[in-house]
Structure 1
Amino acid sequence: MPTTAVDPYLDGNFAPVRKEITTDNLQVVGQLPPDLAGMFVRNGPNPQWPPIGKYHWFDGDGMLHGVQISDGKASYRNRYVQTRGWKIEHEAGKAIWSGFLEAPQMDNPHGAYKNTGNTALIWHAGQILALNEGGVPHAIKLPELGTIGEYTYNGKLVSAFTAHPKVDPVTGEMMFFGYSFMPPYLQYSIVSAAGELLQTVPIDIPQPVMMHDFAITENYTIFMDLPLTLSAERAHRGEPLLMFESDRPSRFGIVPRLGNNNNIRWFESSPCYVFHTLNAYEAGDEVVLIASRMSSTSVLVSEDNQLDPDANIPRLHQWRFNLKTGTVREQQLDDVAAEFPRVNENFLGQKTRYGYVGKLANNPLPLFDGVIKYDLSSGTSQTHQFGEGRYGGEAVFAPRPGATNEDDGWLITFVYDEGSGTSELVVVNAQDITSEPVARVIIPQRVPYGFHGTWVSEEQLTINY
């Protein structure tokens, strides 16, 4: 009898979990720091029903996994992000929408696409939001992780909402963007520190592209018009809707914080794709951007017919855009494959010395076997290895309360042990990254591999709406 191939993103620790649980007084190996108090929450895909057609890792319904820490103790809970699509499929008892690798369901009475709410989280103006770049954010109640509902800024939200908004730690403003198949292909928005949507302006780009992330500095916002293009005409010809066009340059648009399409400046560089930026800052006449760069990508195409041997391999790069001369300098900072970059977000948009990036394992699947701490001033790095057969995710920086040094805090992530089939929350001293974790919190059920998380301090938890 022939066997049916198992989709790797529905197998092992990519497979979904079915139970939503709450457990207090978790076992801790080591000791949780007494001044580490708050909640680590991570988002990721967790399909509630078997998929229609081919499944992509990006397709699953959002599920939040949260560990609350206080007085050296920890509790865990996981909950679905109850989007409109999740509710419709939950009531139907089956999948209604297909995913990225199937043709859009233009005849679906509920809409061609589902907002899964599965990608990332942002805490801003007293509210935490679950994000998916294809639609509106969803407000979440902490610490319960219950879904409050769609969050539209009192009806002022007129675009999609990036999975990676940026909060200026000095002004408290939040910048975000939305991209679209239809004009305007890109819209740029600013939210005040108090949570009021202040402006949304269109930014002209030649054609629709998948724009997953962006960056901010003290005075500027940086957009990336990269050659991962969307084309309905291409799809009508039976070609991929989404395709990397290697003959197109990469374009970086730099606009003043409160600017618009009239005062954006575009810089061209070699073709590439960037899923995630580490940080950006200003240095004299230059704007500096640091990000994980791929020479090309086929990550959202069902079949890889590219000839690029470095396709889909992200490495840390730096771009320097000279606002005076209009020149661009691009530099690879490391040859190690690394993704999911983070900084201490108290310094976002400013020149940071340190960056923390997930170290990709030598595996065709997106598995991280450690986290790299980059010293961007000296050009050196140190690596925390998770251990044999142990794989983690994005390491989120939790600053020590009252800290004055940029790296005074902890790196927090979930780690899965393939040998024992168990998951842990791992807490690493960011100033001593090569040492063993200061604490490992044993999670009572498996936590599937996921996407992005955030640290919500105990002070922030007290004002969550």
Structure 2
Amino acid sequence: MSLTSRPPYTGGFTPVTDEVTAFDLPVTGRVPTALNGRYLRNGPNPMDLDDARLHLFTGDGMVHGVRLRDGKAEWYRNRWVRSAHIAEALGEQPRSGAPVHRRDTGPNTHVIGHAGRTFALVESGPRPYELTYDLDTVGASDFSGTLLAGFTAHPKLDPATGELHAVTYDGGGDIVRYLVVSAAGLVTRSVDIPAAHSPMMHDFALTQKYAVLYDLPVTFSREAAQAGNPLPAAWNEGRGGRIGLLPRDGVEVRWFDIPPCFVFHTLNAYDDGDTVVVDVVRFPKMFVNAELSGNSLSTLDRWVIDTVTGTVTESRLDDRPQEFPTISPAVVSGTHRYGYSAVTADLLRFAGPTAGLEDLSNDSLTDGLLKHDLTQQRTEVRHFGRGHHTGEAVFVPSENARAEDDGYLMAYVHDPDRGASDLVILSAQDFTGSPVATIHLPARVPLGFHGNWIPDPA
């Protein structure tokens, strides 16, 4: 195996080469005894760095996890998701349902717990892969025969019903599909939405009334696919942009025009009388020349959709480059005051050489986390120090939480002095104070994408 990485797998994204299992992890501070479960995070970790088709979004999936119980950090594990490609490379038998007819990197984008099971997720066609509690791969899942095609990397869990909502697409297909997965893990609703232009719908938003769709000018590019681009998506400004409101119990989408832009991730959305409020991390451009480069920096923005006048008003909530927005899971699809996001310089550098990126190349952005108080219109900044690569944070509400920000933030942070990573647990209400606990891992966790806190059954 070659260890000579090249863009995009350099810096914080440099892959690790070993699967590690470690027990009784050292801790600075005290792990809250109420935190019983696993913090899991997924991301690309290509096994073959000489692959000419390497792309940040298509590397082999690897899940990293820490198990907490009774105030102790019991174990750390990292495991490649066993696609047929990875199973073959490791001398193992293919797992059930793993595609063998094409290069399958395994789901590399998200990992969730639902209906008592653990799933690794990716968008654009593939099915979820089920994992065991200890992160071994069971195989591809069709939700007990109810999932007819692929899934998404960004489902939304309704905290009131326990249902999982999703908007899925298949690169090059002519529809997108709205799905509802019951609390028991079965698809109970499916709505096909015509989309002949094959848009890339990486994420969507959920309110108590609507699924909110983003039909933006990044579309499947047949030319890029024929040229062998591993991610054949391209900026198609002529299409413009629009937001769609699909009633949760309906089949017709109402569309609202907006200026061209691209959104990878939603902070949250909610209904406010005759309007719908949607908070997103917004890029003016993305996938120029079918690459994740040559684009623009992100900002935290708000869309207010007026269902009476048919207009959309856009405003700026925070102009700092950021990504991976999150909120308390207790307020998903309802009103929110607080939001959290990450400043991950190695990720933002992939935006490419446009205005403002000279600052990034001079390393003026230091990785860290942001806490947005959208009521008071202020933002707190939490830095961990230069060289401390910081990934997405996950919010975990306290038991019997009395306020929206009563809880903890968990994130993997690379410690350059140790050459390894920590799982840092912060008090959301004391965002810039000393960590509640810092769990010292025996290995480095590369920058990746998304994860979750999955509590153990009560």
TM over 0.5: yes
TM superposition shift of 1:50: 3.0
Corresponding residue of 1:173 = 163
Q: Could you tell me how far apart the structure 1 residues matched to 2:399 and 2:228 are?
A: 55
How far does the alpha carbon of each residue in 1:243-288 deviate from its partner, in whole angstroms, 9 at most, with x for none? 112233211111111222xx21001101000000010000010111
Residue correspondence of structure 1 range 288-307 to structure 2 within 5 A: 288-298=277-287, 301-302=290-291, 304=293, 306=294
Corresponding residue of 2:21 = 22
Q: Could you tell me how far apart the structure 2 residues matched to 1:50 and 1:208 are?
A: 30
Matched, 1:364 2:353: no
Corresponding residue of 1:97 = none
Q: 1:241 to 1:44 in 2, by over 3 A?
A: closer
Match of residue 333, structure 2, among 345, 349, 358 = 349
Corresponding residue of 2:378 = 380
Q: Could you tell me how far apart the structure 2 residues matched to 1:27 and 1:51 are?
A: 36
Match of residue 420, structure 2, among 422, 437, 443 = 422
More displaced stretch, 333-342 vs 295-304: 295-304
Residue correspondence of structure 1 range 423-442 to structure 2 within 5 A: 423-442=421-440
Corresponding residue of 1:188 = 178
Q: Could you tell me how far apart the structure 2 residues matched to 1:41 and 1:132 are?
A: 15
Q: Secondary structure at the match of 1:247?
A: helix
Corresponding residue of 1:243 = 234
How far does the alpha carbon of each residue in 1:185-231 deviate from its partner, in whole angstroms, 9 at most, with x for none? 21111111222211222101240011111110112101111101113
Q: Could you tell me how far apart the structure 2 residues matched to 1:5 and 1:126 are?
A: 40
Q: 1:52 to 1:234 in 2, by over 3 A?
A: closer
Segments of structure 2 that go 5 or more residues without pairing to the other structure are 94-98, 352-364
Q: Could you tell me how far apart the structure 2 residues matched to 1:42 and 1:177 are?
A: 21
TM superposition shift of 1:238: 9.5
Residue correspondence of structure 1 range 85-100 to structure 2 within 5 A: 85-91=85-91
TM superposition shift of 1:403: 1.2
Q: 1:228 to 1:437 in 2, by over 3 A?
A: same
Matched, 1:317 2:286: no
Could you state the TM-score of these two structures normalised by the residue count of structure 2? 0.88
How far does the alpha carbon of each residue in 1:6-65 deviate from its partner, in whole angstroms, 9 at most, with x for none? 513333442222222221111111222232222100111112223421422222211111
Contact 1:220 1:254 in 2 (8 A): yes
Matched, 1:443 2:441: yes
Corresponding residue of 1:271 = 260
Q: Could you tell me how far apart the structure 1 residues matched to 2:277 and 2:85 are?
A: 39
Residue correspondence of structure 1 range 323-342 to structure 2 within 5 A: 323-342=307-326
Contact 1:136 1:160 in 2 (8 A): yes
TM superposition shift of 1:113: 4.3
Match of residue 282, structure 1, among 271, 275, 278 = 271
Matched, 1:39 2:28: no
Matched, 1:164 2:149: no
Q: 1:237 to 1:194 in 2, by over 3 A?
A: closer
Contact 1:18 1:48 in 2 (8 A): yes
Matched, 1:123 2:113: yes
Contact 1:23 1:77 in 2 (8 A): yes
Corresponding residue of 1:56 = 55
Q: 1:333 to 1:259 in 2, by over 3 A?
A: same
Q: Could you tell me how far apart the structure 2 residues matched to 1:163 and 1:412 are?
A: 20
TM superposition shift of 1:420: 3.4
Contact 1:368 1:393 in 2 (8 A): no
Q: Secondary structure at the match of 1:431?
A: helix
Segments of structure 1 that go 5 or more residues without pairing to the other structure are 94-108
Corresponding residue of 2:67 = 68
Contact 1:159 1:187 in 2 (8 A): no
Q: 1:303 to 1:127 in 2, by over 3 A?
A: closer
Q: 1:24 to 1:344 in 2, by over 3 A?
A: same
Residue correspondence of structure 1 range 186-225 to structure 2 within 5 A: 186-225=176-215
Q: Could you tell me how far apart the structure 2 residues matched to 1:198 and 1:318 are?
A: 31
Match of residue 231, structure 1, among 221, 232, 239 = 221
Matched, 1:403 2:401: yes
Contact 2:168 2:177 in 1 (8 A): yes
Q: Could you tell me how far apart the structure 1 residues matched to 2:452 and 2:442 are?
A: 21
More displaced stretch, 41-50 vs 367-376: 367-376
Q: Secondary structure at the match of 1:390?
A: coil
Q: 1:216 to 1:52 in 2, by over 3 A?
A: same
How far does the alpha carbon of each residue in 1:117-163 deviate from its partner, in whole angstroms, 9 at most, with x for none? 11001222212210011300011111x11112111022221222110
Corresponding residue of 2:244 = 253
Q: Secondary structure at the match of 1:60?
A: coil
Contact 2:121 2:128 in 1 (8 A): yes
Q: 1:185 to 1:112 in 2, by over 3 A?
A: farther
How far does the alpha carbon of each residue in 1:407-451 deviate from its partner, in whole angstroms, 9 at most, with x for none? 111100100123432211111100010112121111011111111
Q: 1:87 to 1:119 in 2, by over 3 A?
A: same
More displaced stretch, 14-23 vs 430-439: 14-23
Q: Name the Cα RMSD after superposition.
A: 2.5
Q: Could you tell me how far apart the structure 2 residues matched to 1:12 and 1:303 are?
A: 17
More displaced stretch, 165-174 vs 34-43: 34-43
Matched, 1:155 2:145: yes
Q: Could you tell me how far apart the structure 2 residues matched to 1:330 and 1:217 are?
A: 18
